[in-house]
Amino acid sequence: MNIVTELFVVTFKIIWSFVLAGAKWFIPPREKSVEGQVCVITGAGSGLGRLFAQEFARRRATLVLWDINRESNEETAEIVREIYREMKPSAGSSDSVQELPLFQPKVYTYVCDVSKRESVYSTAEKVCKKVGNIDLLINNAGIVSGRHLLECPDELIERTMMVNCHAHFWTAKAFLPKMLELNHGHIVTVASSLGLFTTAGVEDYCASKFGAIGFHESLSHELKAADKDGIKMTLVCPFLVDTGMFSGCKIRKEMAPLFPPLKPEYCVKQAMRAILTDQPMICTPRVMYMVTFMKTVLPFDAIVCMYRFIGADKCMYPFLAQRKESTNNNESKTGI
């Protein structure tokens, strides 16, 4: 095929991809089943990780919960077990034999510090031996230092990068080989809108999320280049989620109703919809797509003007001040 013919074919495929994307607005794609599939969720002990665990449990997936906090991870596991119990048919049902599903999902918990590759690799090995092959990997674990760059200890910057970005490398290297062998699996990167555009005061967090998104997109291209179409990738980029992680963050009061913090439940339900329909990327709310597009076409000075108008240029400062005060109070108590 000469280059002119190939150019026409490529042009047609690009136009057709737009048509298919537009069609999904009118004919929503069918959600796939994850019943019986093994799902690893990092950072499952609280926040979005716990909500992801609940959503996958309702769909009868076998869950493998990772968290650095054993107690909170076990709390999530108990919530999941309760969901499993509620799905069983009542003991007095006359047709309970017919209703009883062939597969009974289970939940497994592991204490794992995803910032340490040795911990990731050893935990992954235990999972593979005890549970079996992994079908879904939800890279959800994340932290924020809450310090201005020049006030942030080097150790906190390093830990933010390791948890929010480097951990994705370690989990992928642990589970991807078997996915490649079977040409089956799904990797989900829970990133942030702050990995698509930035604001002042959270340099380490933004850098870590940009890195996670870069890793995700590069791996997606690598899988396509290897013709591994059975392995799906989904990138989740929510706006600020009301989990307390960025408590105190504020924009201009007149603009606040237009950009409220997302309810965690809404964020996870939107992400689940994307995962179960093999959607490559989901930004919530949808206006984030527009903000990202504007960043690519507007001059930097225009972006600064827009930030100042919205109040996004210093929106993190109240959060940083709150974190600093909390840290100082804790240090004072320790000193006493």
Catalytic residues: 205
3-state class (DSSP) for residue 201: coil
Q: What is the dihedral of CA 297, 300, 302, 304, to 10 degrees?
A: 130
Cα–Cα distance, 170 to 236 (Å, whole number): 19
Q: What residues contact residue 204 under an 8 Å CB cut-off, 6+ apart?
A: 145, 149, 152, 156, 157, 160, 161
CB 280 within 8 A of CB 235: yes
**Planar angle of CA 294, 276, 46, nearest 5 degrees:** 80
Peptide bond just before 285 cis, omega within 30 deg:
yes
CB 12 within 8 A of CB 147: no
State the burial class of residue 20 (Cβ atoms within 10 Å of its Cβ: 0-12, 13-18, 19+).
exposed
